[in-house]
Amino acid sequence: MHADPRRAIPQTDSLLADPRLAEPQRRLGRPRVRDAVHDAQERARAGALPVAELINHVLRGLPPRATTLRPVINATGTVLHTNLGRAPLSSAARAAMLAAAGYVDLEYDVASGRRASRGRGTLDALRRALPDAGDVMIVNNGAAALLLAVTVLSAGREVVWSRGELVEIGDGFRLPDLVACTGASLREVGTTNRTTRADYAAAISARTGCVLKVHTSNFRMTGFTSSVPIGELAGLGPPLVVDVGSGLLASDPLLPDEPDISGALRSGADVVTASGDKLLGGPQAGLIAGRADLIATFRRHPLARALRVDKLTLAALEATLGGPPSPTTAALHADPDALRTRAAAIATRLGDEADVVSSAGEVGAGSGPGVALAGWAVSIPERYAAALRSGDPAVVGRLSGGRCLLDLRCVAPADDDALVEAVRACR
Ligand SMILES: *Cc1c(COP(=O)(O)O)cnc(C)c1O
């Protein structure tokens, strides 16, 4: 007579009560762990798993964290990699998010015990960072900032906009389509390559809601071209909205073609919109800066409620604005000699298969197209690339000339050991 193998398999509840499964249940929740237990029991019943191995099998199969988002070591050399979540947050911003994760005085004044205005500390930090702004506002992303500004100023009216600046921002999304969603109509002026101040002036009428200038972030036009600087559009009459895109607070000599919010305001823009998670190096957010009377009308519009940011974003943005240089700034301005020294040390640790090669990084996220950031990479055989990507943390390098390049620009020096370990684990 054979013993019924099912007899020997412990019940689900007694497996879930095993002390080794207590921490995973706190980390992932009981249902997730129970599913894994059921799977292990199935295998044991089928004779594919020894009963003594049940718990170990469950532990091996459970994910390391409660999100399926997997940390990545960005060895691509692209600083703002949209597919990798754009700007990595500073440790100050991460700590601020954690502090804001529970109950917080988001809309509460602890001194009086009364309601207080949402995000006031972050707005103050943004005002301090942009002394040229009459007022500021924070929404969900750059597209939301533009949507709100154009809706309030131009719904049912016309947006005067150069044909040279009708931009597709990426993934098939086109700003003219976004603006069309507001109920404003487009009054296109000029041509693809040339638009003059007279073109704008001729298009302005009683139907004009605003003049819109959009930074052509992700492409460059050369040759027989002309566009009208902000200073010449200010004073045309209608409010001038400028979408600078990348969110630089002040100009950066490394990126001479990137407009900054302060500069746009000083040149006469009435409203400036920008992203929080591009060159500013903060969380995904949309920044609006400009005339206080206009921003007051933005705040009261119903869309403002639909576009408002959460407490985690407010916390991370405040810490980014007031805090140490962001990882984005550090990566953009990384010293090439320091990158080379790190690359050499890593290549030495990895042995014969690794070389040090010069490697040009990119700004990314449509900012600074064509700007080559001089740097260095560790070059290893291309066959490592796929295994590196499927590790935890995943390591994403850049394929070039049959090699896998691990560009160190966006790798925090503290991650050099993890990078070496990841490559060794692929051998
Ligand atoms: C990136 C960009 C946007 C969109 O900003 P998100 O924060 O990604 O929504 C809009 N306009 C310009 C010019 C941009 O560069």
What are the phi and psi torsion angles at 232 (to 5°)?
Answer: -85, -15
DSSP H stretches of helix in 100-170: 120-129, 142-154
Q: What number is the average pLDDT over the span 167-188?
A: 94
Q: What is the pTM of this model?
A: 0.94
Question: pLDDT at position 140, please?
Answer: 98
pLDDT digits (tens, 9 = 90+) for 269-312: 999 999 999 999 999 999 999 999 999 999 999 999 999 999 99
Question: pLDDT at position 8, please?
Answer: 83
Question: pLDDT at position 111, please?
Answer: 98
Fold of 91-324: Aspartate Aminotransferase; domain 2 (3.40.640)
Residue nearest to atom 6 of ligand 1 (CA): 142
Q: What number is the average pLDDT over the span 55-62?
A: 96
pLDDT digits (tens, 9 = 90+) for 358-409: 999 999 988 888 899 999 999 999 999 999 999 999 999 999 999 999 999 9
Mean pLDDT computed over every residue of the chain: 96
Tell me the CA–centroid distance for residue 249 and ligand 1, in Å. 15
Q: Ligand 1: does its nearest atom lie under 6 Å from the Cβ of 77? A: no
What is the rounded (10 degree) CA torsion for 286, 287, 292, 296?
Answer: 20
Rounded to whole angstroms, the Cα distance separating 151 from 399 reads 43
* Ligand 1 atom nearest to CA at 143: 9
Rounded to whole angstroms, the Cα distance separating 255 from 371 reads 8
Tell me the CA–centroid distance for residue 205 and ligand 1, in Å. 28
Answer yes or no: is pLDDT of 7 > 70: no
In the chain, where are the structural domains located? 13-60, 72-84+330-425, 91-324
User: Please, what CATH class does the domain formed by 72-84+330-425 belong to?
Assistant: alpha beta
* Ligand 1 atom nearest to CA at 366: 15
Indicate if 91-324 has the same CATH topology as 72-84+330-425: no
Q: Ligand 1: does its nearest atom lie under 6 Å from the Cβ of 364? A: no
Q: What number is the average pLDDT over the span 72-80?
A: 98
Mutate to test the pocket of ligand 1, among 243, 309, 328 (most ligand atoms within 8 A of CB): 243
Tell me the CA–centroid distance for residue 99 and ligand 1, in Å. 28
Contacts of 379 (CB under 8 A, 6+ apart): 354, 355, 356, 357, 403, 404, 405, 406
Answer yes or no: is pLDDT of 415 > 70: yes
Q: Ligand 1: does its nearest atom lie under 6 Å from the Cβ of 270? A: no
Question: What whole-number percentage of the chain has pLDDT above 90?
Answer: 94
Question: pLDDT at position 298, please?
Answer: 98
Q: Ligand 1: does its nearest atom lie under 6 Å from the Cβ of 273? A: no
Q: Which residues pair with 407 in a beta bridge?
A: 377
* Band (1; pLDDT cuts 50, 70, 90): very low
Rounded to whole angstroms, the Cα distance separating 174 from 171 reads 9
CB 115 within 8 A of CB 107: yes
